[in-house]
Amino acid sequence: MTDERPPAANGAAPGPPLLSVRSLRAYYQMRYFGIVREVRAVDDITLHVNRNEIYGLAGESSCGKTSFIKTIAAANRPPLNVIGGSVRFSFLDRDIFGLSEEELSRVRWKHLSYIMQGSMNVLNPVRRIRKSFLDFAFRHIGRPEREFFDIVERHLDRLHLSPAILKAYPHELSGGMRQRVTIALATICRPEFIVADEPTTALDVVVQKGVLAMIREVQQEIGSSILFVTHDMTVHANMADRLGIMYAGRLVEEAPTREIFANPLHPYTAHLIQSLPRIGDLSPKRALPGAPPNLSAPPPGCRFHPRCPLAMDICRRENPALTTLGPGHRVACFAASPEVRPTSGESDAPARAPALASPLEMRQ
């Protein structure tokens, strides 16, 4: 809400952003015996992804990263419901939530694709790789089968995979190869927008570096934008053009990657960067006390305040709005600058039925 235009720092992207998300809210809403419980997984997120850019999204598990991805791809299923906000892709003439199932399936893979997390489990184990390509891309490419496989083979070659793997079953390939196959699947239709959900978490370091370089290479070649989600800050440091940090369902900081590593303004970001172990550095690293909040009963005010070393009085009452403090640098923290103001009331309302909010509390 605070930043209507894409940051000026990003000179490479003329025109409107490829993806613009405005005050998106998506809650898990469950009804147990008439009691409504809400888990605010995506709470008032506004961000833009420019053309030809890798936007990194960082945050720990259960901070709402995956819910956010699902929502922007309109792949959310109840109980995850969109409460408000809009998601506009530049290749669509309207909000993605306005599309019918049929229209969505035409858009997916062709314009909007997805590199999934565990390559182990996403490829159908009883189908050869070529069948998977047929399943995913044949219809979108719309060429006769022989020509289609020519395209596939050329594309595999780009990812340094031999055409022979088309005949293989997933279990015959190594983890790195499988991950490259999923990247090939996601990029074969030359989509404008790719979501990469922890694509290298399960890989070891040597393979990881190769796979990351490959994602970047393909991205450059087909000129698409990537929303790159992972909790690993070192990966972000090397991949992302801009970086957004999520904490407990909210975007707390956003800036170009170098800026955020050089000058983190939010204490959570600062902690994430400072606690990274690195070779050649023996200084003791401190862990953040406490645990991420339960999103069905988030603390009032800033959601980070119970763990925050800089927490002030206002943090316990008011939720800081994401405020632009530098070129392309937005942050939601009262301690960062006096310019940061509370958000307008709405999202501060306590979650419904707070008494039964947490399954953990219910037991005590």
Partner 1 sequence: MSADLLAVDRVTKSYAFGGLFGRGAFNAVDDVSFTLDTARPEIFTIVGESGSGKTTLARMVLNLIAPTSGAIRYRGTELATVRGARARMDFMRHVQPIFQNPFEAFNPLKSVDRYLFMTARRFTDARTTAAIEACTDAALQKVGLSLAEVKGRFPHELSGGQLQRTAIARALIPGPALIIADEPVSMVDASLRISIVNLFKTLRDDLRVSIIYITHDLATAYYISDRIIIMQKGRVVESGAARAVLDNPRHPYSILLKDSVLSLETIGEGILGAARAGRQQRPRHGESVA
Q: Which stretch binds partner 1 (CB under 8 A): 24-32, 95-103, 161-169, 259-267?
A: 259-267
Cβ-Cβ contacts under 8 Å for 138 (sequence gap 6 or more):
145, 148
Q: Sheet with 250-256: list strands edge to edge.
A: 112-115, 193-197, 225-229, 54-58, 242-247, 250-256, 329-331, 323-326
Report the nearest approach of partner 1 to the CB of residue 163 (Å).
Answer: 24
Report the nearest approach of partner 1 to the CB of residue 161 (Å).
Answer: 18
Q: Which stretch binds partner 1 (CB under 8 A): 77-85, 153-161, 189-197, 240-248?
A: 240-248
Among 233, 245, 246, 325, binds partner 1 (CB under 8 A): 233
Say which amino acid occupies 50: N
Strands (E), the chain: 19-32, 35-49, 54-58, 80-89, 112-115, 193-197, 225-229, 242-247, 250-256, 323-326, 329-331
Q: Which is nearer to partner 1, 60 or 103 (CB)?
A: 60
Binding mask 149-188 for partner 1 (x = CB under 8 A): --------------------------x-------------
Report the nearest approach of partner 1 to the CB of residue 362 (Å).
Answer: 10
- Cα separation, 56 vs 237, in Å, equals 9
Determine the Cα angle at 18 with ends 105 and 320, to 5°: 110
Binding mask 2-41 for partner 1 (x = CB under 8 A): -------xxxxx----------------------------
Among 107, 211, 212, 245, binds partner 1 (CB under 8 A): 212
Report the nearest approach of partner 1 to the CB of residue 54 (Å).
Answer: 8
Tally the residues of the chain.
364
Q: Which is nearer to partner 1, 164 or 279 (CB)?
A: 279
Select from 289, 312, 294, 288 the least CA-distant residue to 302.
Answer: 312
Among 43, 192, 197, 241, binds partner 1 (CB under 8 A): 241
The reply to whether 119 sits near partner 1 by the rule CB under 8 A is no
Among 144, 262, 346, 361, binds partner 1 (CB under 8 A): 262
Among 29, 62, 81, 86, binds partner 1 (CB under 8 A): 62
Tokens matching residue 111: 């314009």
Is residue 166 within 8 A of residue 129, CB to CB? The reply is: yes
Select from 102, 82, 67, 78 the least CA-distant residue to 249.
Answer: 67
Among 126, 282, 349, 355, binds partner 1 (CB under 8 A): 282
The reply to whether 126 sits near partner 1 by the rule CB under 8 A is no
The reply to whether 256 sits near partner 1 by the rule CB under 8 A is yes
Cβ-Cβ contacts under 8 Å for 313 (sequence gap 6 or more):
none
How many residues bind partner 1, per CB under 8 A? Answer: 67
Report the nearest approach of partner 1 to the CB of residue 165 (Å).
Answer: 18
Select from 327, 228, 223, 237 the least CA-distant residue to 278.
Answer: 237
- Cα separation, 359 vs 364, in Å, equals 9
Q: Which stretch binds partner 1 (CB under 8 A): 97-105, 133-141, 197-205, 341-349?
A: 197-205
The torsion defined by the Cα of 85, 90, 92 and 96, in degrees rounded to 10, comes to -20
- Interface contacts to partner 1, rule CB under 8 A: 9-13, 50, 52-54, 60-62, 175, 203-209, 212-213, 216-217, 220-221, 231-235, 237-242, 255-259, 261-262, 271-272, 275-282, 284-288, 291-292, 327-328, 359-360, 363-364
